[in-house]
């Protein structure tokens, strides 16, 4: 049976420190530009953790700091409770899977996987045993004697994973691991990656800019923006309850309406937008006095369309259909209001006939289906 460091870790150590990776006030500067700004992270043992954000936000640099490929100007990186400040990459209990796979084209698949073990000067019998186990894990046993050029992109990705797993690391670092694959293959590999993580019980730390990938694979997600962590939470928390306008806008699609609080009640707010719309928002937490600048976020799938005014008048506005996009499983609508606001609506495809463009229509949503965020 394939035993990882996670499986053989002393139980007392797990109880004393439940985190496999910790970043404490970490800063990284390149040519006078701060790429990572005081990042604090705690990644639990055995979880699938994703660092998500747009290009240039610092997510890949954060992964490189964990792997030891970059050194922080300030702060500390710990793995299994031990500081990695003086530990070079090859001595850290981590292995990285790169987007480019980084396979040696002149070596067979088995030789690629065995390369790191030979560097460690392990015995021939142990190397062969570990390579066989790693190939079995990724279902590539029959490809051991082929070369990378003879494999598809998905197969090369599996080999890159096997090469990382063969060293039995405590933490597997995944740098945009599926970014080079086409859409259909990426979906298949997402399922395989999730199954592999569940089978091994290892800690996976993945960097990606693909929101759907992070939401579908992760136990928790850290959303980065301009070198800082904007929010850490489960996929549901990140999507349903973003804490900042950036997170709301970056994760999936949303409609953002800026305004001021006109009235604050124990469980609801009344907000007047700059264009004059009156929006009611249910909120579990009390807000400050009226006049506070806020941003209302309402997801496209939470908005309903009606040809006639609904009986509930809260958050109901008349407009006109300006764009209809048939997407197969669902339909995207863009509705323009007399106020000048434009709202995106997404509804499931129920095989009904689509309304005509420029049709007068009502948009409405429940006060529980939108959230108020402090304006940045």
pLDDT at 1: 43
pLDDT interval class at 152 (50, 70, 90): confident
Pair (20, 153) in one structural domain? yes
Indicate whether 62 and 210 sit together in one domain. Answer: yes
Which tokens go with 352? 């009904």
Locate the DSSP E strands across 66-177.
Answer: 74-79, 82-83, 94-97, 171-175
User: Is 77 in the same domain as 179?
Assistant: yes
In this structure, the answer to whether residues 114 and 55 fall within a common structural domain is yes
Q: Do 179 and 264 belong to one domain?
A: no
188 & 327 share domain: no
The angle formed by the CA atoms of residues 358, 256 and 276, to the nearest 5 degrees, is: 70
Share of the chain above pLDDT 90, in %: 57
Q: Are residues 104 and 9 in the same domain?
A: yes
End-to-end CA distance of the chain: 52
Predicted confidence (pLDDT) per residue in 284-323, tens digit: 777 766 778 999 999 999 999 988 888 777 899 999 999 9
Give the CATH number, domain containing residue 356: 2.40.50.140
- The alpha carbons of the chain give a radius of gyration, in whole angstroms, of 25
pLDDT confidence of residue 12:
47
Which among 193, 211, 246 is the end of a domain? 246
Tell whether 15 and 148 lie within a shared domain: yes
Residue 32's Cβ-count burial label (10 Å; 0-12, 13-18, 19+) is: exposed
Strand bridging mode 171-175 / 74-79? unpaired
Residues 158 and 271 in one domain: no
pLDDT digits (tens, 9 = 90+) for 111-124: 999 988 888 888 99
Opening angle at CA 235, ends 286 and 4, nearest 5:
135
Say what the pLDDT of residue 6 is: 41
pTM of the predicted model as reported, rounded to 2 decimal places: 0.86
Residue 312 phi/psi, 5-degree rounding, is: -85, 120
Print burial letters for 61-70: b (CB count within 10 Å at least 16), e (below 16): bbbbbbbbeb
If asked whether residues 238 and 257 sit together in one domain, one would say: no
Where among 197, 214, 246 does a domain terminate? 246
Could you give the CA distance from residue 336 to residue 361 in angstroms, rounded to a whole number? 10
| Helix, strand, coil percentages for the chain (3-state, nearest 5) | 30, 35, 35
Total Cβ atoms within 10 A of residue 270: 17
Q: How many domains does the chain have?
A: 2
Sign for the pseudo-dihedral over CA of 11, 15, 21, 26: negative
124 in the same domain as 13: yes
pLDDT confidence of residue 16: 67
| C-alpha 44 chain-centroid distance | 16
Are 36 and 45 a contacting pair, CB within 8 Å?
no
Last residue of a domain, one of 216, 246, 276: 246
Structural domain boundaries enclosing 314: 253-374
- Taking the C-alpha atoms of residue 280 and residue 47, their distance in angstroms, rounded to an integer, is 38
230 and 299 both lie in a single domain: no
Distances (CA, A) of 69 to 88, 172, 227: 8, 14, 17
């Amino acid at each position: 049976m394939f035993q990882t460091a996670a499986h053989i870790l002393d139980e007392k150590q797990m109880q004393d420190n439940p985190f496999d990776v910790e970043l404490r006030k970490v800063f990284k500067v390149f040519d006078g530009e701060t790429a990572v700004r005081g990042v604090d992270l705690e990644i639990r043992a055995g979880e699938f953790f994703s660092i998500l954000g747009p290009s240039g936000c610092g997510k890949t640099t954060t992964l490189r700091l964990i792997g030891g490929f970059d050194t922080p100007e300030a702060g500390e990186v710990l793995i299994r409770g031990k500081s990695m400040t003086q530990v070079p990459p090859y001595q850290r209990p981590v292995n990285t899977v790169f987007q480019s796979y980084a396979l040696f084209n002149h070596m067979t698949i088995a030789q690629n996987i065995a390369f790191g073990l030979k560097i460690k000067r392990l015995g021939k019998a142990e190397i062969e045993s570990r390579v066989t186990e790693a190939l079995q894990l990724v279902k590539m046993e029959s490809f051991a004697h082929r070369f990378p050029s003879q494999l598809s992109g998905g197969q090369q990705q599996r080999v890159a994973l096997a090469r990382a797993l063969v060293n039995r690391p405590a933490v597997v670092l995944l740098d945009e691991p599926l970014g080079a694959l086409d859409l259909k293959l990426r979906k298949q590999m997402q399922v395989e990656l999730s199954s592999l993580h569940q089978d091994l019980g290892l800690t996976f730390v993945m960097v990606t800019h693909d929101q759907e990938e992070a939401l579908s694979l992760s136990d928790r997600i850290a959303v980065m923006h301009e070198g800082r962590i904007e929010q850490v939470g489960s996929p549901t928390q990140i999507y349903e309850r973003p804490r900042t306008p950036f997170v709301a806008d970056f994760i999936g699609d949303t409609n953002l309406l800026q305004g001021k609080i006109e009235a604050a009640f124990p469980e609801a707010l009344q907000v007047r937008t700059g264009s004059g719309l009156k929006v009611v928002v249910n909120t579990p937490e009390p807000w400050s006095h009226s006049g506070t600048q806020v941003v209302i976020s309402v997801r496209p799938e939470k908005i309903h369309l009606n040809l006639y005014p609904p009986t509930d008048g809260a958050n109901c506005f008349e407009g006109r259909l300006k764009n209809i996009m048939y997407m197969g499983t669902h339909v995207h609508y863009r509705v323009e209001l007399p106020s000048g606001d434009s709202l995106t609506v997404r509804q499931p495809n129920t095989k009904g006939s689509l309304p005509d463009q420029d049709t007068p229509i009502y948009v409405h949503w429940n006060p529980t289906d939108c959230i108020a965020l402090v304006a940045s």
